Amino acid sequence: MKHGLRIALYQPDIAGNTGTILRFAACMGLGVDIIEPAGFDLSDRNLRRAGMDYLEMAALTRHVDWASFENWRGSEVRRLVLLSTKAAVPYTDFVFDRNDVLLFGRESAGVPETVHDAVDARLLIPMQAGARSLNVALSVAMVAGEALRQLG
């Protein structure tokens, strides 16, 4: 079953993570938005290895930059929900909508302040004290899993 729920990756820089996320999204029927520039191209060996033949099934949209992603989102009227280690609201306390776009930051640097300030909601995956962050693909699986559980 296809969902309106989407996963957006802000300037991803590790090809294997994006391949893993594209495979997950294809299996769950979720669309993926990549906000460029990415640190690799779609022919990258590690992306192909992690995504396997699921890459052909993936509903991927590439946006040349943040501004064009925001133009597209404005035309679709969807909330943008950022996952950030700096957020305060646990993702399990949030009520997801079937048209939400779940935004995940770059592996090396998260998202810039301008993006942090532009979103509709910011959510945290609570971790043990002293832990810095989760792998982005695992974050996607946890949060999209909760959103799908809520949306049925």
Ligand X SMILES: C[S@@+](CC[C@H](N)C(=O)[O-])C[C@H]1O[C@@H](n2cnc3c(N)ncnc32)[C@H](O)[C@@H]1O
Residues forming contacts to ligand X in the complex (CB under 6 A) are 83-85, 104-105, 107, 109-110, 124-125, 127, 133-134, 136, 139
Exposed e or buried b for every residue in 50-78, given b needs 16+ CB within 10 A? bbeebbeebebeebeebeebeeebeeeeb
Smallest distance, ligand X to C-beta of residue 134, A: 4
Using the minimum distance from each CB to ligand X, give the nearer residue, 16 or 105: 105
Smallest distance, ligand X to C-beta of residue 80, A: 12
Using the minimum distance from each CB to ligand X, give the nearer residue, 48 or 92: 92
Using the minimum distance from each CB to ligand X, give the nearer residue, 46 or 85: 85
Please name the residues in contact with 2: beta carbons below 8 A apart, sequence gap of 6 or more. 29
Smallest distance, ligand X to C-beta of residue 104, A: 4
Smallest distance, ligand X to C-beta of residue 53, A: 26
Using the minimum distance from each CB to ligand X, give the nearer residue, 75 or 128: 128
Radius of gyration of the chain (CA): 14
32: amino acid identity, one letter: V
Feature table: binding site for S-adenosyl-L-methionine: 83, 105, 125, 133
Element (H, E) at 150: helix 136-151
Residue 125 to residues 3, 60, 62, 89, 91, Cα–Cα distance (Å) = 22, 25, 26, 8, 6
Feature table: binding site: 83, 105, 125, 133
